[in-house]
């Protein structure tokens, strides 16, 4: 096994990148079946193979002790996991953690936004791919647009600040809506990021090669209406930000895994709900933390060592193709997007 020689309270990979951001999937389940994320007839994991809430907390605790400052809870849809609000209060209370964030599809926020805010959740990203109810239903297969918009408004009313909308842009499906989506974001004073579709899992509903829409194309569409000003801001994630001269208070982000590879400054790792630590979104390098946790339940040092050693497996970069070839068989909901 490779020799580890970093300080006790930090995680550094072999390319000298400091790992300060953990994305944790708390469930692979979801009430939506977005066409780019899941197959229509998804098989979900059996209960015994997913981490319990206690195990998720234990892992979060060790990462924070090892220098992680930001945790994002994701999935699947994190808000369909029972006990999620309690998990948020426990993780947000970990000393040293600066931000606890969540990615959600918004469908349960009308009910949960206030309890989540009270539990110490710092920030929300909410997916929104269309403002047309029928299209929204087609893209999510089961989603109800009105309910999601009510959820977004509930998050604002609950006091969440710097909420960001996430929109995966697919050519011929919603690329003609990017200006309207930005106007929606301006009206509610929300940030918005546009995401290039990534080839994770085999989807049958569309050809990924035909639906690919680059961030440059989205920016060109927006530039017909708005004046975009490049910004050097970062939220420690993969988005590159721009501001609008017409509405300088909001940020427009672009997540461009194909056209502007963001690997050089990568500071994050992902935990699947099966307890597999993925070192890179676009590669299979991983370490089985569940096995360590279940074999040695009270041994924090062993878990710390497993996490530190895993850093040596982090590859320099991903290489996604836009020709529709699938290199990674796991779906985004398994990955913890
Ligand atoms: N259910 C939550 C949601 O939809 O925000 C959290 C999990 S979801 C997997 C996280 C993000 O990944 C969402 O913004 C979603 O649009 C994005 N996503 C899913 N599959 C993707 C793919 N194949 N390419 C790019 N983004 C994807
Ligand atoms: Fe569910 Fe989010 Fe995947 Fe859509 S993108 S199917 S909401 S996990």
Q: What is the residue extent of each domain of the chain?
A: 21-335
Give the CATH H-level superfamily of domain 21-335: Aldolase class I (3.20.20.70)
Question: Any idea what DSSP says for residue 36?
Answer: T
pLDDT at 238: 74
Contacts 24+ apart (CB under 8 A), 42-47: 42/331, 42/333, 45/273, 45/274
Q: Could you give the CA distance from residue 153 to residue 130 in angstroms, rounded to a whole number?
A: 16
Structure-block tokens of residue 288 = 């089985």
Task: For residue 196, give the 3-state DSSP assignment.
Answer: strand
Q: Which residue has the higher pLDDT, 290 or 38?
A: 290
Confidence of residue 41 (pLDDT cuts 50, 70, 90): confident
The Cβ-side half-sphere exposure at 130, using a 13 Å CA radius, reads 21
pLDDT digits (tens, 9 = 90+) for 236-264: 667 889 999 999 999 999 998 776 666 77
Question: Any idea what DSSP says for residue 176?
Answer: G
Confidence of residue 201 (pLDDT cuts 50, 70, 90): low
pLDDT at 2: 46
What's the mean pLDDT in 23-50? 93
Q: Is the CB of 143 under 6 A from ligand 2?
A: no
Largest separation between any pair of C-alpha atoms in the chain = 58
Confidence of residue 336 (pLDDT cuts 50, 70, 90): low
Which of 63-77, 219-233, 316-330 shows the lowest per-residue confidence on average (mean pLDDT)?
316-330
Task: For residue 153, give the 3-state DSSP assignment.
Answer: helix
Structure-block tokens of residue 248 = 């300088």
Which of 272-302 are b and which e, b meaning 16 or more Cβ less than 10 Å from the residue's Cβ?
bbbbbbbbbbbbeebbebbebbeeeeeeeee
Q: Is the CB of 36 under 6 A from ligand 2?
A: no
Give the distance (Å) from ligand 1 centre to CA of residue 2.
34
Task: For residue 269, give the 3-state DSSP assignment.
Answer: strand
Give the distance (Å) from ligand 1 centre to CA of residue 335.
10
Which of 73, 127, 139, 171 has most ligand 1 atoms within 8 Å of CB, for mutation? Answer: 127
Q: Which residues pair with 70 in a beta bridge?
A: 21, 99
Q: In sequence order, which residues have a C-beta less than 8 Å from that of residue 236 and are 6 or more positions away?
A: 20, 21, 70, 267, 268
Which of 72, 125, 163, 168 has most ligand 1 atoms within 8 Å of CB, for mutation? Answer: 168
pLDDT at 1: 42
Give the distance (Å) from ligand 2 centre to CA of residue 324.
20
Q: Is the CB of 212 under 6 A from ligand 2?
A: no
Which of 39, 127, 166 has most ligand 2 atoms within 8 Å of CB, for mutation? Answer: 127
pLDDT at 66: 97
Q: In sequence order, which residues have a C-beta less than 8 Å from that of residue 336 and are 6 or more positions away?
A: 23, 24, 25, 74, 75, 270, 271, 272, 273, 278
Q: Could you give the CA distance from residue 323 to residue 330 in angstroms, rounded to a whole number?
A: 18
Given a cut of 70, whether residue 199 has pLDDT beyond it is: yes
Confidence of residue 4 (pLDDT cuts 50, 70, 90): very low
pLDDT at 89: 98
Question: Any idea what DSSP says for residue 164?
Answer: E
Q: Could you give the CA distance from residue 100 to residue 74 in angstroms, rounded to a whole number?
A: 11
pLDDT at 233: 82
Give the distance (Å) from ligand 1 centre to CA of residue 73.
12
pLDDT at 100: 98
pLDDT at 160: 98
Q: Could you give the CA distance from residue 61 to residue 59 in angstroms, rounded to a whole number?
A: 5
């Amino acid at each position: 096994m490779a020799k580890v020689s970093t300080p006790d309270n930090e995680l550094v990979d072999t390319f000298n990148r400091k790992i300060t951001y953990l994305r944790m999937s708390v469930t692979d389940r979801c009430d939506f079946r977005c066409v780019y994320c899941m197959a229509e007839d998804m098989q979900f994991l059996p209960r015994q193979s997913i981490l319990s809430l206690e195990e998720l907390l234990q892992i979060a605790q060790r990462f924070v002790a090892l220098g992680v400052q930001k945790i994002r809870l994701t999935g699947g849809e994190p808000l369909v996991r029972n006990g999620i609000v309690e998990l948020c209060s426990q993780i947000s209370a970990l000393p040293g953690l600066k931000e606890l964030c969540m990615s959600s599809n918004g469908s349960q926020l009308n009910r949960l936004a206030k309890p989540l805010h009270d539990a110490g959740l710092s920030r929300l990203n909410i997916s929104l791919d269309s403002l047309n109810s029928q299209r929204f239903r087609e893209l999510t297969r089961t989603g109800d647009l009105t309910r999601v918009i009510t959820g977004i408004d509930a998050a604002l009313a609950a006091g969440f600040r710097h909420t960001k909308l996430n929109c995966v842009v697919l050519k011929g499906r919603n690329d003609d809506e990017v200006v309207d989506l930005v106007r929606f974001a301006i009206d509610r004073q929300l940030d918005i990021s546009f995401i290039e579709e990534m080839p994770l899992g085999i989807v049958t509903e569309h050809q990924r090669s035909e639906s690919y829409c680059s961030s440059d194309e989205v920016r060109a569409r927006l530039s017909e209406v708005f004046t975009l000003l490049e910004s050097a801001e970062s939220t420690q994630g993969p988005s590159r930000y721009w501001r609008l001269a017409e509405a300088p208070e909001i940020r427009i982000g672009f997540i461009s895994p194909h056209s502007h590879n963001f690997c050089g400054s990568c500071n994050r790792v992902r935990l699947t709900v099966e307890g597999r630590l993925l070192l890179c979104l676009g590669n299979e390098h991983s370490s089985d933390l569940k096995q360590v946790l279940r074999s040695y339940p009270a041994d924090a040092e062993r878990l710390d060592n497993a996490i530190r050693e895993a850093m040596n497996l982090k590859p320099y970069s991903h290489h996604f193709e836009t020709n529709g070839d699938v290199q990674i068989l796991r779906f985004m909901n398994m990955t913890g997007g």
